[in-house]
Chain A
């Protein structure tokens, strides 16, 4: 939803997913390189890496598609 020249809610959501995704992806890669002493269950799946990447890509797509000035709502 947006009103003349304003920012779409989907852009804010894109920002949120992008930032959170990058932080989670970064933390996941760090854990991959430096395994923690106490591993979570299913650590071998490295959920942080792929879940962070999915969120970041989704967020980037939303940021691009709903960027201010593109006229999408």
Chain B
């Protein structure tokens, strides 16, 4: 394998030494070894799909976060921070922390007590089969597409950075993920996600440390950015008063209400890709602590993602440009800022670990999508709609095969994306069509006992439909952005935020309206599913340091402090 990698290592951004290649190969060997080792512990459905529901809060929490560190997360947001400055950190702070804490303290008890296998499974219990069918089919479709995009993104990165052949990268990463998820199920995916999380930090942490030394600390960094670009690049909120005052073309209402209140809430509380990790927790307290632990680490991720982008803006001797211009001029694009910073500081060994961190990031995202797809396909589509009364062993076998099939479809998607690059934009948009309204459906289902099955289904359909409609409207008539995003100066990011906000509101209005004129379930039927008719088990007496509320307050206070410091 070393010889093959060396042969492929021809045209590239960085040059790997033998020790770098050994580190990369060792990573692949280790993740496969974990998969083979855990095969013996994935014999029942509960083991394979829910990791036996015996994960500690730390493992579930780190895995919860790691599953999200996938698709272009590291490189994409580092590039975004080079392009937009510290505004990109909103996606890590207000775009994540409040939602993660809300999941932990408000929503997790209902997911956990209902003993559901999935978010569509919860919709079945709360709103019935039509809502589950709608959400599970959409989710399964989205996850394999996202997995394929992860795969293609990784292959593209390895081609640009290392000069590796795209087909080779897709083959090696997909086969590895298929093997370790098919063998060990969710437990294997989670174990590897935790390993990948540690490797991402071990490989990426040196860049901000060395970068800050070179820049002369935070004040030196700010002075250089003010000289190279603009002082506005290091302010989080003070430029958001007007759409055209900041490089992102966004208003603070879009960030607070669109991103923080809708998109983040939708993603972190109802996207089964991340929620599945928390459902594997060993008890309710661990399930509540896991997102809080995840939130604590999420606040730190800008240190290895946003800060390198800012350091690139301050220190790199070349000016990075957009993807199209980079291709036309042979220059470097924004997305290459992280590898460029790696190459700047990392010698043999460190470079290998940094590249391993990038590969680990993509693979954890890919495995997260595949394992979530497998569970939704097997429990919410195959068992619900195709074969209802098979044995547990049959469903485990279906889970293993659907992992392989899911990966195969992802490979197909990767090649589709390669030929039609705009599909990547469409899939991102499709993802947002579904997640924002789903949040309204789930939260009304959990907190309002009057919400009915008809209200839930039609609300979800109306929210999704309106989101698609607004997106198509702006595609056909770009000037319509003045209505969707409330300003002709709004850009794509702002459009996404406001589209999410309107579709979520419409979903809520339709759900409430139809619920008020349709027959609700009895309180007995809603027990364990809805606030007000569910007895939340007492955690008993536990020391302050073990209480989820205590740590949520600590994380919340740090979150507020960070926003004030970087105002």
Contact call A23/B213, Cβ cutoff below 8 A: no
When the two chains form their complex, are residues B56 and A13 in contact, meaning their CB atoms are under 8 A apart? no
Alpha-carbon distance A12/B347, docked complex (angstroms): 26
Q: How far is the CA of A27 from the CA of B352 in the complex (A)?
A: 11
Beta-carbon contact of A15 and B213 below 8 Å: no
- Decide if B460 is an interface residue (CB 8 Å cutoff): no
- Separation of A67 and B108 alpha carbons in the complex (Å): 33
**Given A3-B52, A9-B194, A23-B19, do A28 and B199 touch, yes or no (CB 8 Å)?**
no
B350–A3 touching, CB < 8 Å: no
Total interface residues on B, CB under 8 Å, equals 36
| From A26, A41, A45, contact of B349 by CB (8 A) | A26
Contact of B210 among A6, A15, A26, A42 (CB under 8 A): A42
Contact check, B347 vs A31: say whether CB atoms are below 8 A apart.
Answer: yes
A1 within 8 A of B: yes
User: What are the interface flags for A38-73 relative to B under an 8 Å C-beta threshold, 1 for contact and 0 otherwise?
Assistant: 001111010110011001000000000000000001
Tell me which residues across on chain B come within 8 A of A19, comparing CB atoms. Answer: 26
Query: Once bound together, how far apart are the Cα atoms of A43 and B194, in whole Å?
Result: 31
Picked from A1, A13, A20, the residue with its CB within 8 Å of the CB of B55 is A1
Interface of A, helix, strand, loop or mixed by DSSP = helix
Give Cα distance in the complex from A36 to B17, angstroms. 12
Residue pair A24, B195 in contact (C-beta under 8 Å): no
Count of CB-CB pairs between chains A and B under 8 Å: 97
A41-B23 contact given A12-B30, A47-B350, CB 8 Å threshold: no
CB distance from A15 to the nearest CB of B (A): 7
Are B54 and A1 closer than 8 Å at their CB atoms? yes
B245 at the interface (CB under 8 A from A): no
Q: CA A52 – CA B30 in complex, angstroms?
A: 19
The answer to the question of B353 belonging to the interface, with a C-beta cut-off of 8 Å to chain A, is yes
Known: A1-B55, A3-B41, A13-B194. Is A41-B347 also a contact (CB below 8 A)?
no
* Binary A-proximity of B198-209 (CB < 8 A = 1, otherwise 0): 110010001000
B344 at the interface (CB under 8 A from A): yes
Q: Is the CB of B56 within 8 A of A42?
A: no
State the Cβ distance, B313 to closest chain A Cβ, in Å: 16
- Are A27 and B349 closer than 8 Å at their CB atoms? yes
User: Which residues from A are CB-within-8-Å of B22?
Assistant: 23
Contact with B along A1-37 (1 / 0, CB 8 A): 1010011010011011101100111111011000010
State whether A26 touches B19 (Cβ < 8 A): yes
Q: A26 — which chain B residues lie within 8 A by C-beta? A: 19, 349
Name the one of A1, A16, A24, A45 contacting B198, with C-beta atoms under 8 angstroms.
A16
Chain A residues whose CB sits within 8 angstroms of the CB of B213 once the complex forms: 42, 45
Q: How far is the CA of A45 from the CA of B210 in the complex (A)?
A: 9
Q: Which of B52, B55, B59, B349 is in CB contact (< 8 Å) with A52?
A: B349
A27 CA / B195 CA spacing, docked (Å): 23
- CB distance B202 to A17 under 8 Å? yes
Q: How many whole Å from A6's CB to the nearest CB in chain B?
A: 7
A38 CB to closest chain B CB (Å) equals 10
Q: How far is the CA of A48 from the CA of B347 in the complex (A)?
A: 7
Please determine whether A48 and B345 come into contact, CB atoms closer than 8 angstroms.
Answer: no
Q: How far is the CA of A36 from the CA of B30 in the complex (A)?
A: 31
Residues of A within 8 A of B478 (CB): none
A-B contacts, 10 listed (Cβ < 8 Å): A1-B59, A16-B26, A20-B199, A24-B353, A27-B350, A40-B344, A40-B345, A40-B347, A42-B210, A43-B347
Question: A41-B345, A48-B347, A51-B206 are known contacts; what are 4 more A-B pairs with Cβ within 8 Å?
Answer: A9-B191, A12-B30, A12-B195, A23-B19
